[in-house]
Amino acid sequence: MREKRKAFLALECALRDTAYARFDPDNFAGSCKDLLDGCRHAGLIPGDEPWRIIYETAQEQVKSYAQERTLIEIKTPGTQ
């Protein structure tokens, strides 16, 4: 049974990766699926359907492996 879509503003979910070696764009976007699913399973986001979230990915190259990190930023509607 399909879930009824409620009228509300979508969450903004941004995944930002800093890495020594950059991925090509399609591999990077595919690798973010597990992170987004993890946020859903942890209850951080209600679901990952396209009408529930505004999803953004970005990469930045850094000069050393010690500087690598992944930032997951979730903004709820009406927050800065």
The pLDDT of residue 63 is: 95
Is there a domain that residue 52 lies in? Answer: yes
Looking at the structure of the chain, the number of domains it has is 1
Please give the pLDDT value at position 32.
84
User: Considering the domain boundaries, does residue 1 fall inside one?
Assistant: no
Structural domain contains residue 59: yes
Are the C-beta atoms of residues 52 and 3 closer than 8 Å to each other? no
Cβ(16)–Cβ(70) below 8 Å = yes
Kindly state whether residue 3 falls inside one of the protein's structural domains.
no
36 located within any domain: yes
Kindly report the pTM of this predicted structure: 0.73
pLDDT 10s digits, 22-80: 888 888 888 888 888 999 999 988 888 888 888 888 999 999 999 999 999 998 887 66
